Structures are given as C-alpha cells and as structure tokens.
C-alpha cells in the first residue's frame, strides 16, 4: 500500500496563477482532509470530505476549491494564487465510521510545499 500520495512535492506559482494539488489514497478510506501549515504554526483544516460527492468547509476555506468524484482522489484547487497561500499543504485520509463506531485515525501524506511569488 502506498497510503496517501500527494503531488507535486514542490511548486512555485506566480500571483494570479491557478493550480491543483493532487491527493490519492489506496486504503479505501471514506474521509479525506486538506490542511495547510504556515511556518512555525499548527495545521489548519481547509476542506474535508466524508465520501465521494460530499465536501465541506474547514477552518480556512477561502481561496480554495475541492471536489471528490471518487473514493480515492481529493484534489485541492487554487484559482487565483496569492502570496498568503504560500504554505505546506497536507492531505490526510481516515476510515471514519462515525462517533459511535470506534476511533478515527488519520493517515497523512508527505506534503506539498507551495510558494507564491
């Protein structure tokens, strides 16, 4: 199992450009998450998905869009890149079966480092 795979690992964007960060998991997890981490800070939840076709906003969704057409993939789209979106982005997945069905352990990808100049 590869676990959670994120691409690209590094990317430099110019202000106003658009791009998509890819995230794929091969564990058949229903829940997937996108976080961003600014230097010296904790992780902030951008969006999450409870299954194919269902997404919801996290703590810092502005400037991002997501889609979940399959169980395996959860891409994160930046439409008009801004310097404030310079960050490391982490994708995670979990076999969430709900609050009365056991623990919900997240598996993280290695991260994608994005710089907007």
* Residues near other proteins (CB under 8 A): 4, 33, 35, 41-45, 48, 50, 56, 58-59, 88, 90, 92, 94, 96, 98-100, 103-111, 113
Name the residue nearer to other proteins (CB basis): 19 or 45: 45
- Report the residue number, 28 or 42, with the smaller CB distance to other proteins: 42
Neighbour-count burial for 41-80, b at 16+ CB within 10 Å, e otherwise: eebebbbbbeebeebeebeebeebebbbeebbebbbebee
Considering the complex, state which of residue 21 and residue 111 has its C-beta at the smaller distance from other proteins: 111
**Least distance to other proteins from the beta carbon of 80, Å?**
25
First to last CA, the chain: 36
Q: How far is the CB of 39 from other proteins (least distance, A)?
A: 9
Which CB sits closer to other proteins, 34 or 81?
Answer: 34
Q: With 0-12 CB in 10 A as exposed, 13-18 as middle and 19+ as buried, what is 106?
A: middle
């Amino acid at each position: 199992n590869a676990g959670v795979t994120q691409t690209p690992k590094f990317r430099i964007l110019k202000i106003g450009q658009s791009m998509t960060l890819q995230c794929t998991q091969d564990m058949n997890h229903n829940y997937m998450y996108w976080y961003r981490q600014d230097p010296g800070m904790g992780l902030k939840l951008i969006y999450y998905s409870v299954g194919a076709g269902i997404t919801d906003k996290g703590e810092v969704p502005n400037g991002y869009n997501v889609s979940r057409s399959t169980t395996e993939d959860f891409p994160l789209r930046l439409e008009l890149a801004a310097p404030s979106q310079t960050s490391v982005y982490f994708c995670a997945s979990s076999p969430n079966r709900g609050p009365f069905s056991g623990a919900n352990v997240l598996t993280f990808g290695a991260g994608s480092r994005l710089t907007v100049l």
